[in-house]
Amino acid sequence: MRSSLLRIFALVQKEFLAVLKDPRSRVIIFLPPILQSIIFGYAASFDLNSVPYAVLDQDHSSASAALISRLDGSGVFRREANISRVGDIAAWIDNRKALLVLRIDQDFERRLLAGEPAELQAIADGRNSNTAGIALGYLGSVVDGFNLQWRADHGQAGPPVRIVSRSWYNPNLESRWNMIPSLIGTLTMLGTMMLTAMSVAREREQGTFDQLLVTPFRPFEIMVGKAVPNMAIGITQSTSILLIAQFWFHIPFEGSFIVLYAGLGLFLLAAVGMGLFVSSIASTMQQAMLYAFLLVMPFSLLSGLATPIASMPRSMQTAMLINPLRYALDITKRVYLEDAGFTLLLRDFIPLTVSGVIALTGAAWLFRRRLG
Protein backbone atom coordinates (compact mmCIF):
# COMPACT_ATOMS: atom_id res chain seq x y z
CA MET A 1 0.00 0.00 0.00
CA ARG A 2 2.78 2.42 0.97
CA SER A 3 4.73 1.65 -2.21
CA SER A 4 1.59 2.20 -4.29
CA LEU A 5 1.00 5.61 -2.68
CA LEU A 6 4.64 6.57 -3.29
CA ARG A 7 4.34 5.64 -6.97
CA ILE A 8 1.11 7.64 -7.28
CA PHE A 9 2.75 10.62 -5.57
CA ALA A 10 5.70 10.45 -7.96
CA LEU A 11 3.34 10.34 -10.96
CA VAL A 12 1.30 13.25 -9.60
CA GLN A 13 4.48 15.27 -9.20
CA LYS A 14 5.49 14.43 -12.78
CA GLU A 15 2.07 15.48 -14.09
CA PHE A 16 2.24 18.83 -12.33
CA LEU A 17 5.67 19.50 -13.80
CA ALA A 18 4.53 18.45 -17.30
CA VAL A 19 1.48 20.71 -17.14
CA LEU A 20 3.30 23.74 -15.75
CA LYS A 21 6.17 23.43 -18.24
CA ASP A 22 3.81 23.26 -21.25
CA PRO A 23 2.93 26.82 -22.43
CA ARG A 24 -0.42 25.66 -23.85
CA SER A 25 -1.39 24.05 -20.57
CA ARG A 26 -0.40 27.13 -18.58
CA VAL A 27 -2.63 29.27 -20.78
CA ILE A 28 -5.59 26.91 -20.25
CA ILE A 29 -5.07 27.00 -16.47
CA PHE A 30 -4.65 30.69 -15.76
CA LEU A 31 -5.98 32.82 -18.61
CA PRO A 32 -9.55 31.58 -19.33
CA PRO A 33 -10.98 31.87 -15.78
CA ILE A 34 -9.84 35.47 -15.37
CA LEU A 35 -10.49 36.67 -18.91
CA GLN A 36 -13.87 35.00 -19.39
CA SER A 37 -15.13 36.00 -15.95
CA ILE A 38 -14.46 39.63 -16.82
CA ILE A 39 -15.99 39.27 -20.29
CA PHE A 40 -19.14 37.51 -19.11
CA GLY A 41 -19.46 39.81 -16.13
CA TYR A 42 -19.42 42.98 -18.20
CA ALA A 43 -20.10 42.25 -21.86
CA ALA A 44 -22.30 39.13 -21.85
CA SER A 45 -24.98 40.71 -19.73
CA PHE A 46 -28.73 40.55 -20.22
CA ASP A 47 -29.16 43.87 -18.43
CA LEU A 48 -29.74 47.04 -20.45
CA ASN A 49 -27.82 50.01 -19.15
CA SER A 50 -28.75 52.31 -22.01
CA VAL A 51 -31.88 52.26 -24.17
CA PRO A 52 -31.72 54.70 -27.10
CA TYR A 53 -35.18 55.93 -28.01
CA ALA A 54 -36.91 58.55 -30.13
CA VAL A 55 -40.22 60.22 -29.35
CA LEU A 56 -43.06 61.51 -31.51
CA ASP A 57 -44.98 63.89 -29.23
CA GLN A 58 -48.17 64.92 -30.99
CA ASP A 59 -49.69 66.40 -27.83
CA HIS A 60 -46.96 68.81 -26.68
CA SER A 61 -48.65 69.14 -23.32
CA SER A 62 -47.37 69.31 -19.76
CA ALA A 63 -48.43 65.69 -19.23
CA SER A 64 -46.45 64.40 -22.21
CA ALA A 65 -43.47 66.52 -21.16
CA ALA A 66 -43.66 65.05 -17.64
CA LEU A 67 -43.69 61.50 -19.01
CA ILE A 68 -40.71 62.18 -21.29
CA SER A 69 -38.75 63.83 -18.50
CA ARG A 70 -39.38 60.78 -16.30
CA LEU A 71 -37.92 58.58 -19.04
CA ASP A 72 -34.89 60.86 -19.47
CA GLY A 73 -34.30 60.93 -15.73
CA SER A 74 -34.48 57.15 -15.30
CA GLY A 75 -30.78 56.71 -16.06
CA VAL A 76 -31.59 53.95 -18.56
CA PHE A 77 -33.41 55.66 -21.43
CA ARG A 78 -31.39 57.96 -23.71
CA ARG A 79 -33.38 60.22 -26.02
CA GLU A 80 -31.83 60.37 -29.46
CA ALA A 81 -34.36 62.55 -31.29
CA ASN A 82 -37.74 64.28 -31.24
CA ILE A 83 -39.57 63.08 -34.35
CA SER A 84 -42.05 65.37 -36.06
CA ARG A 85 -43.64 63.00 -38.58
CA VAL A 86 -45.04 59.45 -38.39
CA GLY A 87 -43.15 58.57 -41.56
CA ASP A 88 -39.81 59.07 -39.79
CA ILE A 89 -40.43 56.25 -37.30
CA ALA A 90 -39.44 53.42 -39.66
CA ALA A 91 -36.08 54.95 -40.49
CA TRP A 92 -35.05 55.16 -36.82
CA ILE A 93 -35.95 51.51 -36.21
CA ASP A 94 -34.59 50.13 -39.50
CA ASN A 95 -31.22 51.86 -39.14
CA ARG A 96 -30.90 50.77 -35.48
CA LYS A 97 -30.62 54.36 -34.34
CA ALA A 98 -33.27 53.72 -31.70
CA LEU A 99 -34.36 50.60 -29.88
CA LEU A 100 -37.74 52.16 -29.09
CA VAL A 101 -39.89 54.87 -30.66
CA LEU A 102 -42.65 56.32 -28.49
CA ARG A 103 -45.71 57.91 -30.02
CA ILE A 104 -47.87 60.13 -27.81
CA ASP A 105 -51.31 60.93 -29.26
CA GLN A 106 -52.53 64.50 -29.48
CA ASP A 107 -55.30 63.99 -26.90
CA PHE A 108 -52.98 62.40 -24.32
CA GLU A 109 -53.40 65.04 -21.57
CA ARG A 110 -57.10 65.59 -22.24
CA ARG A 111 -57.86 61.91 -21.69
CA LEU A 112 -55.82 61.80 -18.51
CA LEU A 113 -57.63 64.85 -17.09
CA ALA A 114 -60.95 63.24 -17.94
CA GLY A 115 -59.97 60.08 -16.09
CA GLU A 116 -59.90 58.06 -19.29
CA PRO A 117 -57.09 55.73 -20.38
CA ALA A 118 -54.55 57.44 -22.62
CA GLU A 119 -52.62 55.31 -25.06
CA LEU A 120 -48.85 55.40 -25.42
CA GLN A 121 -47.64 53.55 -28.48
CA ALA A 122 -44.24 51.92 -28.13
CA ILE A 123 -42.62 50.61 -31.31
CA ALA A 124 -39.66 48.33 -30.54
CA ASP A 125 -36.95 46.79 -32.68
CA GLY A 126 -37.91 43.12 -32.44
CA ARG A 127 -34.90 41.74 -34.31
CA ASN A 128 -33.45 40.99 -30.89
CA SER A 129 -36.54 39.84 -29.05
CA ASN A 130 -34.79 39.45 -25.69
CA THR A 131 -33.43 43.00 -25.72
CA ALA A 132 -36.74 44.43 -26.93
CA GLY A 133 -38.62 42.59 -24.19
CA ILE A 134 -36.31 43.93 -21.49
CA ALA A 135 -36.60 47.48 -22.85
CA LEU A 136 -40.40 47.26 -22.91
CA GLY A 137 -40.30 45.98 -19.33
CA TYR A 138 -38.27 49.02 -18.28
CA LEU A 139 -40.72 51.26 -20.10
CA GLY A 140 -43.63 49.64 -18.29
CA SER A 141 -41.99 50.36 -14.93
CA VAL A 142 -41.52 54.04 -15.82
CA VAL A 143 -45.10 54.36 -17.05
CA ASP A 144 -46.42 52.73 -13.87
CA GLY A 145 -44.52 55.27 -11.82
CA PHE A 146 -45.92 58.10 -13.94
CA ASN A 147 -49.48 56.77 -13.47
CA LEU A 148 -49.16 56.67 -9.70
CA GLN A 149 -47.73 60.17 -9.58
CA TRP A 150 -50.45 61.53 -11.89
CA ARG A 151 -53.25 60.05 -9.80
CA ALA A 152 -51.72 61.40 -6.61
CA ASP A 153 -51.25 64.91 -8.03
CA HIS A 154 -54.75 65.15 -9.55
CA GLY A 155 -56.73 63.45 -6.79
CA GLN A 156 -57.87 60.56 -8.94
CA ALA A 157 -58.61 57.15 -7.46
CA GLY A 158 -55.71 54.78 -7.52
CA PRO A 159 -55.84 51.32 -9.04
CA PRO A 160 -57.93 48.78 -7.07
CA VAL A 161 -55.03 46.31 -6.98
CA ARG A 162 -51.44 47.31 -6.55
CA ILE A 163 -48.74 44.76 -7.41
CA VAL A 164 -45.55 45.03 -5.40
CA SER A 165 -42.88 42.74 -6.86
CA ARG A 166 -39.87 41.42 -4.98
CA SER A 167 -37.05 39.33 -6.41
CA TRP A 168 -35.54 36.81 -4.04
CA TYR A 169 -31.79 36.13 -4.07
CA ASN A 170 -31.18 38.83 -6.70
CA PRO A 171 -33.08 41.97 -5.65
CA ASN A 172 -31.80 44.17 -8.49
CA LEU A 173 -32.22 41.45 -11.15
CA GLU A 174 -28.57 41.78 -12.23
CA SER A 175 -27.75 39.11 -14.80
CA ARG A 176 -24.12 38.85 -13.64
CA TRP A 177 -25.41 37.48 -10.31
CA ASN A 178 -26.63 34.51 -12.33
CA MET A 179 -23.81 34.39 -14.88
CA ILE A 180 -20.66 34.59 -12.73
CA PRO A 181 -21.57 31.78 -10.27
CA SER A 182 -22.48 29.64 -13.29
CA LEU A 183 -18.99 30.18 -14.71
CA ILE A 184 -17.51 28.44 -11.67
CA GLY A 185 -18.72 25.14 -13.10
CA THR A 186 -18.57 25.96 -16.82
CA LEU A 187 -14.99 27.23 -17.03
CA THR A 188 -13.78 24.60 -14.60
CA MET A 189 -15.21 21.85 -16.79
CA LEU A 190 -13.64 23.40 -19.87
CA GLY A 191 -10.16 23.63 -18.37
CA THR A 192 -10.22 20.34 -16.48
CA MET A 193 -11.53 18.24 -19.34
CA MET A 194 -9.11 19.79 -21.83
CA LEU A 195 -6.07 19.24 -19.60
CA THR A 196 -7.09 15.69 -18.70
CA ALA A 197 -7.83 14.80 -22.31
CA MET A 198 -4.41 16.03 -23.40
CA SER A 199 -2.47 14.27 -20.64
CA VAL A 200 -2.15 10.77 -22.13
CA ALA A 201 -2.13 12.13 -25.70
CA ARG A 202 0.84 14.33 -24.76
CA GLU A 203 2.64 11.26 -23.41
CA ARG A 204 2.06 9.43 -26.70
CA GLU A 205 3.30 12.34 -28.81
CA GLN A 206 6.42 12.79 -26.71
CA GLY A 207 7.13 9.05 -26.68
CA THR A 208 7.09 8.76 -22.89
CA PHE A 209 3.90 6.71 -22.66
CA ASP A 210 5.67 3.51 -23.70
CA GLN A 211 8.28 4.19 -21.06
CA LEU A 212 5.51 4.56 -18.51
CA LEU A 213 4.13 1.14 -19.43
CA VAL A 214 7.37 -0.66 -18.56
CA THR A 215 7.51 0.91 -15.08
CA PRO A 216 5.99 -0.84 -12.02
CA PHE A 217 2.92 1.44 -12.27
CA ARG A 218 -0.42 -0.34 -12.38
CA PRO A 219 -3.26 0.99 -14.58
CA PHE A 220 -5.16 2.15 -11.50
CA GLU A 221 -2.15 4.08 -10.25
CA ILE A 222 -1.63 5.71 -13.63
CA MET A 223 -5.29 6.81 -13.67
CA VAL A 224 -5.08 8.27 -10.17
CA GLY A 225 -1.81 9.99 -11.00
CA LYS A 226 -3.40 11.57 -14.07
CA ALA A 227 -6.62 12.54 -12.28
CA VAL A 228 -5.35 14.12 -9.05
CA PRO A 229 -3.30 16.98 -10.62
CA ASN A 230 -6.15 17.96 -12.93
CA MET A 231 -8.65 17.94 -10.07
CA ALA A 232 -6.29 20.18 -8.08
CA ILE A 233 -6.03 22.53 -11.07
CA GLY A 234 -9.83 22.50 -11.39
CA ILE A 235 -10.24 23.46 -7.74
CA THR A 236 -7.71 26.28 -8.27
CA GLN A 237 -9.68 27.58 -11.25
CA SER A 238 -12.97 27.38 -9.33
CA THR A 239 -11.46 29.30 -6.44
CA SER A 240 -10.11 32.01 -8.72
CA ILE A 241 -13.55 32.57 -10.26
CA LEU A 242 -15.11 32.55 -6.80
CA LEU A 243 -12.69 35.25 -5.67
CA ILE A 244 -13.43 37.34 -8.77
CA ALA A 245 -17.17 37.06 -8.10
CA GLN A 246 -16.80 38.21 -4.50
CA PHE A 247 -14.04 40.81 -4.61
CA TRP A 248 -14.32 42.19 -8.15
CA PHE A 249 -18.06 42.05 -8.83
CA HIS A 250 -19.05 42.14 -5.14
CA ILE A 251 -21.64 39.39 -5.47
CA PRO A 252 -22.44 38.34 -1.90
CA PHE A 253 -21.80 34.70 -1.03
CA GLU A 254 -24.67 33.42 1.10
CA GLY A 255 -23.95 29.70 1.41
CA SER A 256 -21.44 27.24 2.86
CA PHE A 257 -18.01 26.71 1.34
CA ILE A 258 -18.13 23.10 2.55
CA VAL A 259 -21.29 22.37 0.54
CA LEU A 260 -19.96 24.24 -2.49
CA TYR A 261 -16.61 22.45 -2.60
CA ALA A 262 -18.24 19.08 -1.93
CA GLY A 263 -20.36 19.60 -5.03
CA LEU A 264 -17.36 20.83 -7.02
CA GLY A 265 -15.37 17.77 -5.95
CA LEU A 266 -18.02 15.39 -7.28
CA PHE A 267 -18.31 17.46 -10.43
CA LEU A 268 -14.55 17.35 -11.01
CA LEU A 269 -14.56 13.56 -10.61
CA ALA A 270 -17.08 13.36 -13.45
CA ALA A 271 -15.19 15.88 -15.60
CA VAL A 272 -11.87 14.13 -15.05
CA GLY A 273 -13.47 10.76 -15.83
CA MET A 274 -14.74 12.10 -19.15
CA GLY A 275 -11.36 13.66 -19.87
CA LEU A 276 -9.59 10.35 -19.20
CA PHE A 277 -12.10 8.61 -21.44
CA VAL A 278 -11.31 11.04 -24.27
CA SER A 279 -7.59 10.78 -23.54
CA SER A 280 -7.72 7.00 -23.84
CA ILE A 281 -9.20 7.01 -27.33
CA ALA A 282 -7.15 9.92 -28.74
CA SER A 283 -3.75 9.30 -30.31
CA THR A 284 -2.59 12.93 -30.57
CA MET A 285 -3.13 16.15 -28.61
CA GLN A 286 -5.02 17.61 -31.57
CA GLN A 287 -7.47 14.71 -31.51
CA ALA A 288 -7.81 14.99 -27.74
CA MET A 289 -8.66 18.70 -27.95
CA LEU A 290 -11.17 18.06 -30.75
CA TYR A 291 -12.93 15.24 -28.89
CA ALA A 292 -13.02 17.25 -25.67
CA PHE A 293 -14.45 20.23 -27.53
CA LEU A 294 -17.18 18.03 -29.03
CA LEU A 295 -18.22 17.09 -25.49
CA VAL A 296 -17.80 20.47 -23.83
CA MET A 297 -19.85 22.50 -26.31
CA PRO A 298 -23.16 20.58 -26.13
CA PHE A 299 -22.75 20.06 -22.39
CA SER A 300 -22.28 23.81 -21.90
CA LEU A 301 -25.07 24.94 -24.24
CA LEU A 302 -27.56 22.40 -22.86
CA SER A 303 -26.70 22.76 -19.18
CA GLY A 304 -29.14 25.57 -18.41
CA LEU A 305 -26.48 28.28 -18.65
CA ALA A 306 -28.06 30.11 -21.59
CA THR A 307 -31.58 28.65 -21.77
CA PRO A 308 -33.70 26.89 -19.13
CA ILE A 309 -33.65 23.10 -19.35
CA ALA A 310 -37.41 23.06 -18.84
CA SER A 311 -37.88 24.85 -22.18
CA MET A 312 -35.97 22.19 -24.12
CA PRO A 313 -37.68 19.27 -25.91
CA ARG A 314 -38.51 16.35 -23.66
CA SER A 315 -36.08 14.05 -25.48
CA MET A 316 -33.23 16.53 -24.97
CA GLN A 317 -34.07 16.90 -21.29
CA THR A 318 -33.79 13.14 -20.92
CA ALA A 319 -30.50 13.02 -22.82
CA MET A 320 -29.00 15.75 -20.62
CA LEU A 321 -29.53 13.68 -17.47
CA ILE A 322 -25.96 12.46 -18.08
CA ASN A 323 -24.63 16.02 -18.25
CA PRO A 324 -22.71 16.70 -15.01
CA LEU A 325 -22.54 20.42 -15.73
CA ARG A 326 -26.31 20.87 -15.30
CA TYR A 327 -26.05 19.64 -11.71
CA ALA A 328 -22.90 21.65 -11.02
CA LEU A 329 -24.59 24.86 -12.19
CA ASP A 330 -27.58 24.24 -9.95
CA ILE A 331 -25.31 23.57 -6.97
CA THR A 332 -23.10 26.63 -7.46
CA LYS A 333 -25.98 29.06 -8.02
CA ARG A 334 -28.14 27.76 -5.19
CA VAL A 335 -25.31 27.57 -2.69
CA TYR A 336 -23.92 30.95 -3.72
CA LEU A 337 -27.17 32.92 -3.83
CA GLU A 338 -29.69 31.17 -1.58
CA ASP A 339 -27.61 29.27 1.01
CA ALA A 340 -28.91 25.83 -0.02
CA GLY A 341 -27.64 22.93 2.08
CA PHE A 342 -26.97 19.24 1.48
CA THR A 343 -30.62 18.27 2.02
CA LEU A 344 -31.98 20.64 -0.60
CA LEU A 345 -29.26 19.64 -3.06
CA LEU A 346 -29.63 15.86 -2.87
CA ARG A 347 -31.36 15.84 -6.26
CA ASP A 348 -28.11 17.27 -7.67
CA PHE A 349 -25.57 15.41 -5.55
CA ILE A 350 -26.99 11.94 -6.25
CA PRO A 351 -27.05 12.09 -10.10
CA LEU A 352 -23.71 13.92 -10.06
CA THR A 353 -22.21 11.06 -8.06
CA VAL A 354 -23.72 8.50 -10.44
CA SER A 355 -22.39 10.31 -13.51
CA GLY A 356 -18.94 10.53 -11.91
CA VAL A 357 -18.88 6.82 -11.12
CA ILE A 358 -20.02 5.92 -14.64
CA ALA A 359 -17.45 8.23 -16.27
CA LEU A 360 -14.57 6.95 -14.14
CA THR A 361 -15.60 3.31 -14.58
CA GLY A 362 -15.80 3.69 -18.35
CA ALA A 363 -12.47 5.49 -18.45
CA ALA A 364 -10.83 2.79 -16.29
CA TRP A 365 -12.20 0.01 -18.51
CA LEU A 366 -10.99 1.69 -21.68
CA PHE A 367 -7.68 2.55 -20.06
CA ARG A 368 -7.03 -1.08 -19.16
CA ARG A 369 -7.87 -2.16 -22.70
CA ARG A 370 -5.47 0.35 -24.22
CA LEU A 371 -2.73 -0.61 -21.77
CA GLY A 372 -3.32 -4.29 -22.40
| Gap between the Cα atoms of 22 and 209, Å rounded | 17
Helix pair 23-42, 175-206: axis angle to 10 deg: 170
Closest of 33, 314, 41, 325 to residue 177, by C-alpha: 41
pLDDT digits over 216-235, tens only? 777 677 777 878 888 888 89
At CB < 8 A and 24+ separation, what contacts does 61-66 make? Answer: 61/108, 61/109, 62/109, 63/108, 63/109, 63/112, 63/150, 64/104, 64/108, 64/109, 66/146, 66/150
Tell me the pLDDT of the chain averaged across its residues: 81
Give me the pLDDT at residue 178, please: 80
Which residues, 6+ apart, have CB-to-CB distance to 103 below 8 Å?
Answer: 55, 56, 58, 86, 89, 120, 121, 122, 123
Q: Set out the domains of the chain in order of their start, with CATH numbers.
A: 2-44+174-371 (no CATH), 51-154 (3.40.1710.10)
Length of the chain: 372
pLDDT for res 161? 40
| Residues above pLDDT 90, as percent of the chain | 17
Residue 315 pLDDT: 84
Alpha helices in the chain (DSSP H): 2-21, 23-42, 62-72, 89-94, 108-113, 129-154, 175-206, 209-213, 219-243, 257-281, 285-301, 314-319, 324-338, 346-371
Question: Per-residue pLDDT for 350 more than 90?
Answer: yes
- Tens-digit pLDDT profile for residues 262-321: 999 999 999 888 888 888 777 777 888 888 888 888 888 888 877 777 767 888 888 888
Grouping H, G, I as helix, E, B as strand and the rest as coil, residue 81 is: strand
pLDDT tier for residue 30 given thresholds of 50, 70 and 90: low
Full-model pTM: 0.71
